[in-house]
């Protein structure tokens, strides 16, 4: 996310101990992205996969067994799981997304012909490798039951467990209505990431004019680092602010009246929704935006996929404080019950114990 890691009172000695035992390998990016994409295309290779095939990382992994013994390696995403490991070391792949699915959905959403074709081709190249690597892993972790079922249909013999994304419910600890700025809407996320860029452009073009016509004083903050040129241009619209990177997203959430997640492309689950619900915020999302989360539409948030329905849901929240409080309270209880770091951490430990 775009926010800095909040101070939450965790044991600093534990953090310092972890810092001493973690080896960080940084490999500087080389070349120009478009040129690299073209070269990988000519060679019939996935650019996404090839970008993580770093000699420096492999050398560091090769050196580690000489210093210590490792039973298990946890790869954060399938992209990293192409590294070679010593014989006998078990492999866990933590799938934040089903990566080929994300590219497939991007391809379907993309309108520019060349980029549309490229995403289709890249998804085909990635899918076979992604499934093969997950099939070889001793354990695959996914963020939702929907993704577990999807992977299981292709890998029926593979151990696949759900460990949801979670939120620090102590750090994201609600907000009072008195903090809210009347009429303020917010979207949070990394603002060069295609699903987020596509989401805010959709909202700006198809929903924002309708909302401003009904609520002329409404404002919209787009909060997140590295906004693309298309996103920066949205600051020229009436009532819209593009903040860029911020040190902490929580004050922006606390002051906002409605949180939106108008995503039309995605995989995995959205932390932005969990953080908003933890902050007792009224949330309007598309089906894709809240996909994979065990939310109940009409209780924890409002789900709308058509532009006018989405805009109407935002307006309803803007104009009804009691409705916002009801949804906000339900959302907070939902996150506490199923998506706290403590609960998700317990599920992760149980999954790890099964292969130890």
According to the model, what pLDDT value does residue 8 have?
37
Instruction: Decide: helix, strand or coil at residue 72.
Output: strand
Q: Where are the domains of the chain?
A: 12-165+342-353, 177-339
We find that the CATH architecture of domain 177-339 is: 3-Layer(aba) Sandwich (3.40)
CA distances from 103 to 72, 187, 203, 305 (A): 29, 22, 21, 20
Identify the helix (H) or strand (E) that includes residue 240: strand 240-244
DSSP single-letter state for residue 82: G
Burial of 227 (0-12, 13-18, 19+ CB in 10 A): buried
Alpha helices in the chain (DSSP H): 12-21, 33-43, 47-50, 55-63, 99-109, 113-136, 145-154, 194-206, 208-214, 229-233, 250-255, 271-278, 307-319, 321-338, 341-353
Q: How far is Cα 206 from Cα 349, in angstroms, rounded to an integer?
A: 44
pLDDT in tens, the chain (356 residues): 333 333 333 444 544 554 555 555 554 454 566 556 555 555 566 667 777 777 888 888 888 777 778 888 899 889 989 888 888 889 999 999 999 999 999 999 988 788 888 888 889 899 999 999 999 999 999 999 999 999 999 999 999 999 999 999 999 997 777 889 999 999 999 999 999 999 999 999 999 999 999 999 999 999 999 999 999 999 999 999 999 999 999 999 999 999 999 999 999 999 999 999 999 999 999 999 999 999 999 999 999 999 999 999 999 999 999 999 999 999 999 999 999 999 999 999 998 888 86
Q: Which residues pair with 94 in a beta bridge?
A: 76, 141
Please tell me the class of the 12-165+342-353 domain: alpha beta
Q: What is the pTM of this model?
A: 0.86
């Amino acid at each position: 996310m775009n926010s800095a890691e909040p101070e939450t009172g965790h044991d600093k000695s534990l953090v310092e101990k972890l810092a001493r035992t973690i080896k960080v390998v940084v490999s500087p990016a080389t070349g120009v992205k478009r040129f690299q994409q073209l070269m990988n295309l000519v060679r019939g290779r996935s650019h996404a996969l090839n970008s993580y095939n770093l000699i420096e990382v492999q050398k560091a992994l090769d050196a580690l067994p000489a210093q210590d013994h490792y039973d298990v390696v946890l790869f954060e995403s399938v992209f990293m799981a192409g590294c070679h490991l010593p014989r006998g070391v078990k492999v866990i792949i933590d799938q934040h997304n089903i990566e080929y699915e994300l590219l497939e959905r991007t391809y379907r959403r993309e309108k520019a012909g060349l980029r549309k074709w490229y995403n289709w081709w890249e998804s085909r190249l990635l899918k076979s490798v992604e499934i093969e690597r997950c099939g070889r892993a001793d354990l695959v972790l996914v963020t939702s039951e929907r993704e577990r079922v999807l992977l299981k249909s292709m890998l029926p013999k593979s151990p696949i467990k759900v460990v949801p994304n979670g939120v620090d419910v102590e750090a994201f600890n609600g907000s009072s209505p008195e903090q809210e700025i009347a009429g303020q809407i917010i979207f949070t996320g990394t603002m060069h990431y295609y699903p987020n860029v596509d989401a805010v452009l959709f909202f700006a073009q198809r929903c924002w004019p309708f909302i401003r016509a009904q609520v002329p004083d409404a404002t919209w903050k787009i909060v997140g680092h590295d906004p693309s040129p298309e996103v920066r241009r949205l600051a020229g619209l009436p009532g819209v602010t593009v903040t860029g990177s911020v040190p902490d997203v929580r004050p922006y959430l606390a002051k906002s009246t409605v949180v939106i997640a108008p995503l039309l492309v995605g995989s995995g689950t959205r932390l932005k929704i969990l953080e908003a619900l933890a902050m007792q915020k009224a949330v309007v999302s598309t089906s894709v935006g809240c996909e994979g989360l065990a939310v109940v539409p009409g209780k924890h948030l409002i789900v709308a996929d058509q532009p006018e329905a989405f805009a109407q849901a935002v307006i309803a929240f803007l104009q009804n404080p009691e409705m916002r409080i009801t949804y906000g309270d339900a959302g907070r209880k939902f996150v506490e019950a199923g998506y706290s770091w403590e609960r998700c951490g317990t599920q992760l430990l149980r999954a790890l114990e099964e292969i130890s």
